Chain A
Amino acid sequence: MSSHAPSVKLPRIPVTWATQIGIFVIIVLLAFLFSRIQPRFFSPTTVALIFKYYSPVAVLALGMTFVILTGGIDLSVGYLMMFLMFVMAYLARRMGWDPGLAMLAGLGTAVLTGAAVGAGVAMARIPPFILTLAVMVSAYGATLLLSNNQSITDLPEPMLWLGGAEFSLGQQSFPVMAPVVVGLFAFAALVLRRTPYGRYIYALGSNREAARLNGIPIRAIEISVYALSAFCCWLAALMQLGINRTADPKVALSDSLELNAIAMVVIGGTSLVGGRGGVGGTALGVVLLSMLFNGLPMLGGQFGDTSWRKLVQGGVIFLGAAIDAVQRKYWRH
């Protein structure tokens, strides 16, 4: 045999998609498994419920994707979301503000907080995990201060619209959040793929120094992604208000929302060190995790317990991190 014989050509799957395809296969397998055990798993009601309950965390994961793509992390999202819920509820119910004005104030608080965090990371070079950890804990403290640890109920209708409004499709009604979230993900994918801003984010995450030397405004970009993440917290806060119909000071304590968001991003193939991944993978992560969370109680027995929820949460993060490590070691691109 000649040493020049052409080697066998395998169909080349782009490496960046390998994880996503794997996760997609897992989703299909799991859906099949669930529906075999519980025939009612595949119903329009289930789809509507998943969109209703997991839209806020999906939006948090969307913001988180941008932050992680730059090589940062935002641990504050869950508690910041809860704090923003109370900023809006407090202003509207206790201070008698116009609901629209209260919502705008919430938006302002969110963007300012996010920009401040971004400035701390970009200018002062504070490690983002410690800075956002500080924000996370203070956001909880501020929530307790505003709420006196009690729910705020009887919120004005405009505030509940995003999370509560529904539209009908045949027999089944779906939350308005469903098209909103799908649209947001599509828009974010466009921004990341097709605009200079999106490419700068990848550049910054791949190699900060090289990006700077190439004249990319890294500080502005870093500030903007944290502000964007905080903006997503605000959107999620509006959604959560509508879902629970009240501002509840225990929302963020229930399920470590920041962990769920990170899990959705990481399992979707976005690298924790930045520069690789995207919102498409995050969307798959959202589907996987919300399907598991919604499906486990349907199986009945102990699967509905917190223990299984936590095992799934931890398992997904571990799997995502492991895939990420393998990719970094063996697949150069």
Chain B
Amino acid sequence: MKPFFQPFLSLRPSRIRLAARTSWTTATLALPVVAASLLSGCGGSSSAPAGNVVPPATSSTTASASAEKVGVALASMNHNFFIGMRQGVEEGLAAEGLSGEFLVADDSASSQQQQVDQLIQKGVTAIIMVPVDADQAVNPVKAANSANIPVFSIDRRVTGQGARVTCTVETDNVAMGEMAARHGLKLLCERHGLDPEKPEDLKKLKTTVVHLWGLEAASSARDRATGFENVFGSDATPNVKVLKAVGNFNAKTSQEVIAPLLTANPEIELIYCHNDDNAIGALNAVTDVKKGREKADDPKRVFIVGIDGNRAAIEEVRKGNIEATVSQEPIDMGRETVKQVKQVLDGKQPEQPYIAIRHHLVTKKEADEKKGELWADLLKGGN
């Protein structure tokens, strides 16, 4: 085989350069495409334009022929939370004898607007919407208003002039953040022999805490940060050093950011996470750096608290690896919304314009006691 190669070695550089130039154009062309694809890839979009019709699950197609069709415009299916929400809507529709048409906007406000227009043209009797963006949702809501179709919003409020949302079903992200942070504070106080109820004791608390952010642009992350800052701050806890880290609501990123932070600051005692993907990443990082998760009463154990109540996190709470998570109730949110839709379709008013769905702390005790009742246990598919 060698002789084939030998003549090539005697090629003059000029010929090599000629070849180089032709493929260089290819490379130049490639770069913008790469950039564009990565931009869209980051948003988790699967490059779906407006017509991303997802047929409803079989359970919700059992409605009778005269059933009224409800349009459901979802923001994305990127988190377990949204999957649970969709499941709740589907179950609610089946229970009320309604049928649904589901569209997913893949986190793009403009494609959500087109999807709502599609739903209006198809003559749905009500629209359930998980707004991609609270401000940009004003236009689709106005369009539905002028077509006299009632709009119901889940998870995010639509705030804007002239947009009328019949009913909003939400959870309080600030309160959830505060609840998780308070539980972390309580654990720290117990370890340091202080009383979390006494302000003078809190001033004595001296430790280092990581504030692990989700996506900095997401409203849920900002609200959960506010909740954290309501508990830990220079006034309430002046001797607590807070280190900021950003985990992008992603386990891998969180793991890669928290591990070096722990190496550099071995005195860290608590990692407060904006969601449970972050918490799983933080747990992996702690295990990697500290070599094994110490016993629950070990004085050097790094506490981890998360938010959402994902299945993976609940499993770790049950194993005693994550101290606690604040569970939302996405399935309930979906069901409750459909209940309000039915009420309005029957000619009544919704119970309230804003309905807050409960959230609750899940430590090992609650996770074991409420086994089978938590949304993580009720979610279909997956493991």
Contacts and interface: CB of A to CB of B under 8 A. Distances in A.
Interface of A: 38, 40-41, 43, 45-46, 49, 52-53, 71, 73, 75, 79, 93, 127, 129-130, 133, 136-137, 140-141, 144, 148-154, 173, 196, 199-200, 203, 206-211, 214-216, 240, 243-246, 248, 250-251, 253-256, 259, 271-275, 293-298, 300-302, 304-306, 328, 332-333
Contacts of A43: 263
B261 A297 contact: yes
Contact of B23 (A71, A215, A305, A306): A71
Contacts of A244: 251-252, 255, 284
Nearest to B259: A49
A200 B1 CA distance: 10
Q: Which 7 A-B pairs have the closest CB atoms?
A: A150-B382, A129-B30, A148-B381, A207-B19, A298-B264, A215-B4, A254-B250
Contacts of A250: 44, 78, 250-252, 277
B163 to A, nearest CB: 30
Contact of A129 (B2, B11, B33, B379): B33
Contacts of B4: 214-216
Contacts of B41: 79, 136-137, 140, 253, 256
B263 A40 contact: yes
Contacts of A214: 4-5, 7-8
A236 B1 CA distance: 33
Contacts, number: 196
B47 to A, nearest CB: 6
Contacts of A304: 244-246, 257, 261
B65 interface: no
Contacts of B216: 305-306
Given A45-B263, A152-B383, A133 B33 contact: yes
B315 interface: yes
A154 B312 CA distance: 10
A332 B33 CA distance: 30
24 contacts: A43-B263, A49-B260, A49-B289, A127-B30, A129-B29, A129-B33, A133-B37, A137-B46, A144-B77, A152-B383, A196-B1, A206-B8, A210-B8, A250-B78, A250-B251, A251-B251, A273-B24, A294-B260, A295-B260, A297-B245, A297-B261, A300-B261, A304-B257, A306-B216
B295 interface: no
A98 B60 CA distance: 36
Interface residues of B, number: 67
A275 B251 contact: no
A211 B80 CA distance: 52
A135 to B, nearest CB: 12
Given A199-B5, A244-B284, A149 B252 contact: no
Contacts of B7: 214
Given A129-B34, A333-B13, A297 B27 contact: no
A283 to B, nearest CB: 20
Nearest to A262: B34
A298 B311 contact: no
A243 B264 CA distance: 21
B26 interface: yes
Interface in B255-295: 255-261, 263-265, 277, 280, 284, 288-289, 291
Interface in B120-157: none
Interface of B: 1-2, 4-5, 7-8, 11, 13, 15-20, 23-24, 26-27, 29-30, 33-34, 37-38, 41-42, 44, 46-47, 77-80, 83, 216, 243-246, 248, 250-253, 255-261, 263-265, 277, 280, 284, 288-289, 291, 311-312, 315, 379, 381-383
A151 B311 CA distance: 9
Contacts of B277: 248, 250
Contacts of B253: 254-255, 306
A52 B288 contact: yes
Q: Which among A200, A203, A273, A332 has the greatest number of chain B C-beta atoms within 10 A?
A: A273
Contact of B288 (A38, A49, A129, A208): A49
A295 B259 CA distance: 10
Contacts of B250: 250, 253-254
B252 A254 contact: yes
A195 to B, nearest CB: 10
Given A216-B4, A246-B312, A148 B251 contact: no
A53 B23 contact: no
Contacts of B257: 297, 304
A53 B257 CA distance: 10
Contact of A45 (B26, B83, B243, B289): B289
A51 B258 CA distance: 16
Q: Which among B26, B255, B264, B277 has the greatest number of chain A C-beta atoms within 10 A?
A: B264
Contact of A300 (B16, B243, B248, B255): B243
Given A244-B252, A245-B284, A140 B46 contact: yes
Given A75-B34, A251-B252, A253-B41, A150 B80 contact: yes
A46 B262 CA distance: 10
Nearest to B290: A45
Nearest to A296: B260
Given A53-B255, A244-B284, A255-B253, A332 B19 contact: no
A172 to B, nearest CB: 10
A305 B245 CA distance: 6
Nearest to B16: A206
Contacts of B19: 206-210, 275
A38 B243 CA distance: 15
A71 to B, nearest CB: 5
Nearest to A127: B26
Contacts of B382: 148, 150-152
Contacts of B259: 49, 53, 294
Contacts of A79: 41
